[in-house]
Structure 1
Amino acid sequence: MYSDLNFIILGKILEQVSGQDLSIFLREEIFAPLGMRETGFLLKVKRDNFVKTEITKERGQVWGNVHDETAWQMGGLAGHAGLFSTLDDLARFSSFYLTTASPLVAGLFDYDCFERTLAWIRWQKGRRFLWHSGFTGPGLGLDLENGRALVILASSVYPKRGNEAWLLARRQAANTFFGGGYREEKQEYIVDKCKPCCKIVFAKVTDVNEEEGNERRLPDFRRGMAGYAGRLDPGPGK
């Protein structure tokens, strides 16, 4: 059964232990040290900077606010949802995982419980592959064996949820990036049926180990998905 309660509770624990608002704690302990200046909760920026999500009866056009209903009822600040970011910031976040010698990251691969470790899906058993996706369409893949990251920022719930074709297209993008299906599954994906309403900002695949100008590119997934190749930032603030 899918549940957000674990991360909701984790967010509350962090607030109690630190004595700080969750948004302040994460900004000071994670985002600022990594140079993620465009990441946070309840961002005070122009609405045009956000991608539109769902049109609902209760809230109308959800745009610039958290889409998740539970997080919205919690005021937009929760441990499981409500965090906004950009392609560049997520490249910095990914770069940390790919280059750090922290035992906290290395220790993620000590666990494979129900095909998962802390906060991540283990894409293939025994491999240093991590995957995380969001309900509204985004995805983040990390290949620690080859120093590569895949960042997908998308809004597949505009104007309404239920875009099954996008989920298949996203899975194919991940399959291409990791060089194999989830848990070695064998399944055909049809991406030509991806609905035009699927709005993707960027799909970015980078390789921090390759020579300049020799980045590996994702294939063009036709409708609703753009491929962009570029190098990860060398580090925070660079």
Structure 2
Amino acid sequence: MYPETLRLIEEKMREGVFPGAVLRFIENGEDEEQILGNAQIEPTVVSMEEDFLFDVASLTKVVCTTTVMLKLKEEGKLSWDQTLHELLPSFQNETITLRHLLTHTSDIQTYIPNRDQLNAEELRAAYLTLQPGTDLGKVVKYTDAGTILLGFLIEELYQKDVIEVFKEEVLQPLGMSDSSFLPQPPYNKIIPTQRMADGNILKGVTHDPKARVLAEHAGNAGLFTNMKDLSKFAKMYLNLGRVSDMIYLHDKTVQELLHDQTPTGKGKRSIGWDLKFSPLDQAPLLFHTGYTGTFLLLDIVKKSAFIFLSNRVHTEDHRASYVAHRDEILACYLNERSKIYQK
């Protein structure tokens, strides 16, 4: 379906950018999947398999947190321009809105002294004291703090741990039966991530350090999922919120995501999602990444998707170089796609 993009991905894998990957192209109602390389290279080599579970890191933000927020808005429980304080009075700032948090325009000052020494309760308390800087609403600055705070809000509204809400409101209705949070041993089907300072390699344990501490209260990361389940999520979007005969999200909700939702209207961010634009016709595309080496690109209008899952942090994290490689893969895909649609 996309031979040039696939060749580039295979080349990157041979160069050691990531040990292995599972990727899927969805186009015109057809799927093409590729399973490449190794799921694990230490302590033993394990070949990649289709159903292996990845720690998808920040894809949790769009798959779970954003989805629950969209459903709450549809139910009339909140509006984007409400302040977080109004809905979560324990949050001490009274100016940051849900829109600010969902579009990364809160300019929230995220420095927390001794953060890595805090337990879950102490970390939660610290997040509730954070304040915005002088660029509130003006500048897009990506941060985990927004979805961490939205996770606390979801817990307040549902009176449940946020991962229980994610299971009940997202994973179960979408049939994402392989996906989980805080997985329990044995971890046979889970792909390991990074080697830590003590020499241990994380496997079945959340890679993101904040989500690792917050555990069942983390709204920013922690989802373990595979290509089969992520494809179900993607296809719900491509079907404008429908899953078989069920209306999971209203089509209007999905369509509104294709517009810039930042306060200035110029930040190239939607609710929860980054906005990319097709080089062919500048059509808006929904995009999000995960720190561990994952991304999801959706074209709602043309009903196509590119889902990419790798374990690029296994065993070492070379983020800056990886981002350059990832952007090259994306550019190749978008250019190849333009040629297909021009034919």
Q: Does the TM-score normalized on the shorter chain lie above 0.5?
A: yes
User: In percent, how many aligned pairs have the same letter?
Assistant: 26
Could you tell me which of 164, 169, 178 is aligned with 1:29?
A: 169
Matches within 5 A, 1:33-182: 33-44=173-184, 46-58=186-198, 60-75=200-215, 77-100=217-240, 102=250, 103-113=252-262, 114-124=267-277, 127-179=283-335
Question: How far has the Cα of 1:60 moved from its partner?
Answer: 2.2
Report if aligned partners of 1:42, 1:77 keep a CA contact under 8 Å in 2. no
Code of the residue aligned with 1:148 in structure 2: it is S
For the pair shown, the structure with the greater C-alpha radius of gyration is: 2
TM-score if structure 1 supplies the norm length?
A: 0.69
CA RMSD across the alignment: 2.3
- 2:213 and 2:198 map into 1 onto residues whose CA distance is 12
More helix by share: 2
- 2:231 and 2:332 map into 1 onto residues whose CA distance is 19
Code of the residue aligned with 2:254 in structure 1: it is V
Report if aligned partners of 1:39, 1:83 keep a CA contact under 8 Å in 2. yes
Question: In the alignment, what sits opposite 1:224?
Answer: none
Report if aligned partners of 2:193, 2:203 keep a CA contact under 8 Å in 1. yes
Report if aligned partners of 2:238, 2:304 keep a CA contact under 8 Å in 1. yes
- 1:171 and 1:180 map into 2 onto residues whose CA distance is 14
Structure 2: give runs of 5+ residues left out of the alignment: 1-140, 242-249
Question: How far has the Cα of 1:58 moved from its partner?
Answer: 4.9
Code of the residue aligned with 2:148 in structure 1: it is I
- 2:199 and 2:152 map into 1 onto residues whose CA distance is 26
Question: How far has the Cα of 1:16 moved from its partner?
Answer: 0.8
Could you tell me which of 16, 22, 44 is aligned with 2:156?
A: 16
Question: How far has the Cα of 1:165 moved from its partner?
Answer: 4.0
Question: Secondary structure of 2:188's match?
Answer: helix
Code of the residue aligned with 2:322 in structure 1: it is W
Report if aligned partners of 1:141, 1:174 keep a CA contact under 8 Å in 2. no
Higher RCO, Cα 8 Å, sep 6+? 2
Question: Secondary structure of 1:53's match?
Answer: coil
- 1:58 and 1:110 map into 2 onto residues whose CA distance is 45
Question: Secondary structure of 2:257's match?
Answer: helix
Question: In the alignment, what sits opposite 2:131?
Answer: none
Structure 1: give runs of 5+ residues left out of the alignment: 182-215, 217-238
Report if aligned partners of 1:98, 1:142 keep a CA contact under 8 Å in 2. yes
Question: How far has the Cα of 1:45 moved from its partner?
Answer: 5.1
TM-score if structure 2 supplies the norm length?
A: 0.49
Question: How far has the Cα of 1:142 moved from its partner?
Answer: 0.5
What are the Cα deviations for residues 35-91 of structure 1, in whole angstroms up to 9, with x where unaligned?
111112112353121111111115721111100111112136410011111100000
